[in-house]
A and B are shown apart, each in its own frame.
Chain A
């Protein structure tokens, strides 16, 4: 438990190598897009980080359900790890999306369904963390956390649909063209390859980070147990 297991070390190395390769592909292999220029390269990691955010989001929901069924605290640790990682990655995805949107469509922000939903998810996570912080009893903290991840898990797809419905009935046009269209540019094969490789790289990075974060959670749990023992 104290030293990093070898599988994780291997995974870390693979993640690092793939990451470097992904950067290489993004900056050197992928061609420059004609209409928006260099900024389009932001797209690859924007999608990849959003993808990781989604993975974390789903993992949190599943972990929540599993915790309630099993009452095994390790699922609570998994849930917290998933939320934290998803929080960081969605944040990056949102900001990169915003930076991409600015020169491409003339606006820093658009209320398009995916971007807005990602923001709602961030707020959900913040609420989740605040809820956990306000509860002393670890068992209750885990239970309430699990309930909230389940509620979020269900409400977010509904939110996405609601916002999309909002936009189809009231197409809001910002600036010159519709900023909602992410497939606004046509992707040549090298672009597609770069995108797919980025997504796979970040999936590997996700697993690696997830594992590390869970181990961190286990350490925290151990500290709390030791503290309780000392208090007795």
Chain B
């Protein structure tokens, strides 16, 4: 008789999804932050050059 191990299957893929989504989110958040930093720094650079 094949045991019912579906719960473990679900657990496994839930963890997989959680970690993957977390990582992808982290990538996109870091991406956005860095782009904002670049914008800000470039503005500051232009301001400094005007003086």
Contacts and interface: CB of A to CB of B under 8 A. Distances in A.
A211 to B, nearest CB: 11
The contact size tier of chain B is 20 to 34
A45 B16 contact: yes
A212 B4 CA distance: 40
The contact size tier of chain A is 35 or more
Given A37-B3, A223-B34, A42 B41 contact: no
Contacts, number: 88
10 closest Cβ pairs, A-B complex? A39-B5, A42-B12, A226-B41, A37-B5, A39-B8, A219-B34, A99-B12, A38-B6, A103-B5, A38-B9
Given A212-B27, A229-B45, A96 B16 contact: yes
Contacts of A36: 2-3, 5
A216 B27 contact: yes
A121 B19 CA distance: 18
B35 A219 contact: yes
Interface string A86-118: 001001100110011011100000000000000
Contacts of A38: 4-6, 8-9
Contacts of B4: 37-38
Contacts of B11: 99
Given A219-B38, A223-B37, A92 B15 contact: yes
B5 A216 contact: no
Interface SS majority for chain B? helix
Contacts of B44: 230
A213 interface: yes
B44 to A, nearest CB: 6
Contacts of B5: 36-40, 103-104
Given A39-B6, A92-B20, A95-B19, 5 more contacts: A37-B4, A88-B23, A213-B27, A230-B41, A230-B44
Given A37-B2, A38-B6, A216-B27, A100 B12 contact: yes
Interface string B29-51: 01100110110011011001000
Interface in A1-57: 2, 32-42, 45-46, 49
A20 to B, nearest CB: 13
A125 B37 CA distance: 27
Nearest to B44: A230
B15 A95 contact: yes
A40 B4 CA distance: 11
Interface in A188-232: 209, 212-213, 216, 219-220, 222-223, 226-227, 229-230
A14 B12 CA distance: 24
A195 B37 CA distance: 42
